[in-house]
Amino acid sequence: MGGASVAIWAWSNMLIIVTSFRVCIMALYGLPLVVMLVVSAKMYFSKDEIFYCCCLTDRQLASLLRSLFIHGYLIACKSCSQTCGCQLLSTMALSRSIRLIGLLVIFLSVALLPYGRVEAEDEVEEPTVKQNVGKGHSGQTTDDEVAQREEERIKIDGLSSAEMKVIKESAKKYEFQSKTNRIMKLIINSLYQNKEIFLRELISNASDALDKIRLISLTDPNALSSSEELSVRIKADPENHLLHITDTGIGMTKEDLVNNLGTIARSGTSEFLSKLLDSTAEKQQDLIGQFGVGFYSAFLVSDYVTVISKHNDDDQYIWSSDSSSFTIAKDPRGPTLKRGTQVTLHLKEEAYDFHEPDTLKKLVVKYSQFINFDIFIWESKTVTVEEKVEDAGEETKPEAEDGKVEEEKEEKKTKKVEKTIWDWVKINTVKPIWMRKSGDVEISEYNEFYKSITKDSEDPLAHVHFTAEGEVTFKSILYVPKHGPHDMFQNYGKGTESIKLYVRRVFITDNFKDMMPNYLSFIRGVVDSDDLPLNVSREMLQQHKLLKVIKKKLVRRALDMIKKMDPEKYEEFYKEYSTNLKLGIMEDPTNRTRLSKLLRFASSNHTSKLTSLTEYVQRMKEKQDAIFYIAGPSRAEVETSPFVEQLLADGYEVLYLTEPVDEHAMQSLPEFDGKKFQNAAKEGLKLRDDEKTKEKQKQLSEIFEPLTKWLQFTALKDLIEKAVISERLTKSPSALVASSFGWSGNMERIMRSQAYSKSSDPTQDFYASQKKTFEINPRHPIIKELLRRVQSDPNDSKAIDTAKLLYETATLRSGFALKDQVGFAERIEKILRGSMDIPLDEPVDEEAEQEEKAEEEASEAEAASETEKSETEHSEL
């Protein structure tokens, strides 16, 4: 027997083999595999290898082990039990490892045999199978035996299979009980967030009923014989607190009333659709209902609901309910409706607002104005009429003047009075033009539709009408208003009401935060789909994934619409919405390239006209590899900036960024058309890269090295990072240049001026405290003179003051804020004194007021002394 490590290794390998035994045998349930395994064992094991085995509950594996035992390969242990499980140990030598691996491969190969066995069994004829049922074969078991054996091994909560069987046989089945009225309240109040939804749901039901009768009339002309009108009428009764919604649709039979209104979540429209599977999609798409709960939203605003319905195939019936139970009775008045349904709501006290015609009109326009059928509301209106006026006291004039007298009487007998009359008024006058082809819609129709949905008085700048297909199909019309909302940036990032979502022309919601990105929140329009998955209340989408798909397509279409604008209209658009496009550059990496083509900037190439990046690239000089720009508060300031002096002198075009968001946008735009952007106010500006220029620059650096080192390590050691010879200056003596990743002077000014910025913001302090590069112009006389003085006396106080003043003026001209404003003012004063030959130590004269005050005090003291003297003399007398 080998060592302990060999025994453990052998036991682990044999455990894998035994597991393979179990899998194969459980799959085959037959003797052939047992024989095959025995033969395999004879091939790979010698008789001096001993196995220890306890009895197993798996009878197939036990049978195999007994077979191996018979052939002399196994020796049973003396401590067997029915519950001990299986444990095998081997004293094989390490040299037998190759045989073990070979045996494992054979076992895994044999495990694939069940698939072939299943295919063979599928070909067995049914009579043969029936004849073999119940017959016992050596090495085979039935599925029932396998199931029984598995049940014996399953233990649930400590119960044996026998105990579970007893429980199953003796258990009594019960149905869940509920109080219908309470369940109804829970369903209705949990489904709907807004009570006004009830009118949308009832009108949608009426629309479905009208669609059904219309579809039936296509094959049965007599379906409309009782009434050809297809409409919905809404009438309020304030005195009795009733609200009637009447349609001339298909109506309901008594059975329909029981099944559709008496069964929650049963949709008559869904069942109707199932019967129209042979119809075209065009016929089906107008039907709205699908969940079977919309009708019950009536209980949001009413305590009691009455439904009167007349179907062509049945009498007129009345259905009534208080949400806890319902009753159905034949209408004793007969077929007063001719055909259709009337829903009467007995309004709750808190729902009395729905008596008002204006409220009803507002809800109809909001939710159902694009329904295919006419919607009428019973409302009053004031008209002017003429009434006769009788004047009994008027005397009759002579007959000779009869003709004239009668004419005058007719004029006096009528007067104009205002009267209130009631009549049916059509509400949904605006048609869903998105359902038509774009070529069939006039521009005036698009403009009128825009005004109706936005309440804007001006025509839009542009529109796009399209149908999107793919993962989700929808129709849409998008508009660009002439003017953006006045609070567009105050509410930036919040939910907008710019896009109205309709499903089958029924309004769902316009409260979206993700339908359009923030920078396109000014876009107005509608989206209508027939297959969007809504929640049961139809107030929101179920799958937000589809919202992302819709958003992606809307953004692409909106940007394409903007791109295709006429130049004149685009100029007007850009003045109004340029900031939005630049915010889009920062917020929308996916469409950054598209947005960059829409940008326009002032340029050194034009005095008034804005230029696009595409036009700039087309005008770039040969071998120019960067797009140059400078940012500042105004064009006048950036045009005279020291940073663009050499660029303009060499004929390079420079973009002038004068809006606060411009520099932010440029930092988010790494390149355009393969050309990188270069801020003229930052490091990295390279204008000439030829050897001659490099050699000249090297010579200048050597000549001015004493000055640059003196500035860096002596005069301005606490203020600058380094001092270098500039390539961008031609007229100015110096400039302060930010690092590639630092803030320019313009950016620092913008960040410091934020309304909500802190006085001690760590981020702002970090960027503001970064030392800049001090660039000097070697051709400027001040720089040359400063070099001469530094070379003659590095400790010259005047030279140090001049260097500091030079640094401070460069700071201001570069757009940065001065830290030591008092010191700057004092140095300017010294220069002024020197230029005017005024001694630096000459004091400032005292104010005249102080002299006058001293004189007044002296005169008052003298007067007091004289008064005292006179009083003394008077007392002596």
pLDDT at 105: 56
- Six-digit token string for 253: 């039979």
Name which of 300-309, 389-398, 421-430, 835-844 the model is least confident about: 389-398
Mean pLDDT, residues 11-38: 48
Higher pLDDT, 750 or 853: 750
Name which of 165-179, 299-313, 482-496, 828-842 the model is least confident about: 165-179
Name which of 332-346, 600-614, 828-842 the model is least confident about: 828-842
605 is in an annotated binding site: no
pLDDT-derived band of residue 611, with 50, 70 and 90 as boundaries?
A: very high
Cβ neighbors of 12 (< 8 A, separation 6 or more) are none
495 is in an annotated binding site: no
Mean pLDDT, residues 691-718: 93
Distance between CA atoms of 478 and 254, rounded to whole angstroms? 46
260 is in an annotated binding site: yes
Q: In this structure, are residues 739 and 773 in contact, taking their beta carbons and an 8 Å threshold?
A: yes
Is the predicted pLDDT of residue 357 greater than 70, yes or no? yes
pLDDT at 82: 39
Distance between CA atoms of 509 and 194, rounded to whole angstroms? 12
What strand order describes the sheet that includes 316-321? Answer: 326-330, 316-321, 302-310, 340-347, 242-247, 231-237, 374-388, 414-426
Percent of the chain with pLDDT over 70: 69
267 is in an annotated binding site: yes
295 is in an annotated binding site: yes
- pLDDT tens per residue across span 97-156: 455 555 555 555 544 444 444 343 444 444 443 444 444 444 444 556 655 555 555 555
pLDDT at 687: 84
- pLDDT tens per residue across span 103-118: 555 555 544 444 444 3
Mean pLDDT, residues 458-484: 94
Higher pLDDT, 844 or 736: 736
pLDDT-derived band of residue 510, with 50, 70 and 90 as boundaries?
A: confident
Is the predicted pLDDT of residue 50 greater than 90, yes or no? no
CA distances (Å), origin 14, targets 6, 10, 112, 436, 839: 12, 6, 20, 76, 108
pLDDT at 754: 76
pLDDT at 63: 52
Cβ neighbors of 262 (< 8 A, separation 6 or more) are 326
- pLDDT tens per residue across span 613-634: 999 999 999 889 999 999 999 9
pLDDT at 807: 95
484 is in an annotated binding site: no
pLDDT at 845: 80
pLDDT at 763: 78
pLDDT-derived band of residue 418, with 50, 70 and 90 as boundaries?
A: confident
205 is in an annotated binding site: yes
Mean pLDDT across the chain, nearest whole number?
78
pLDDT at 134: 42
Is the predicted pLDDT of residue 759 greater than 50, yes or no? yes
291 is in an annotated binding site: yes
Higher pLDDT, 297 or 374: 374
Going from the N-terminus, what domains does the chain have, and what CATH number goes with each? 4-128 (no CATH), 180-377 (3.30.565.10), 434-555 (3.30.230.80), 599-679 (3.40.50.11260), 691-835 (1.20.120.790)
Mean pLDDT, residues 214-223: 90
Mean pLDDT, residues 303-318: 95
252 is in an annotated binding site: yes
Higher pLDDT, 611 or 166: 611
823 is in an annotated binding site: no
Distance between CA atoms of 499 and 507, rounded to whole angstroms? 11
717-721 long-range contacts (CB < 8 A, ≥24 apart) are 719/771, 719/774, 719/807, 720/771, 720/772, 720/773, 720/774, 720/807, 721/770, 721/771, 721/772, 721/773, 721/774
Higher pLDDT, 77 or 850: 850
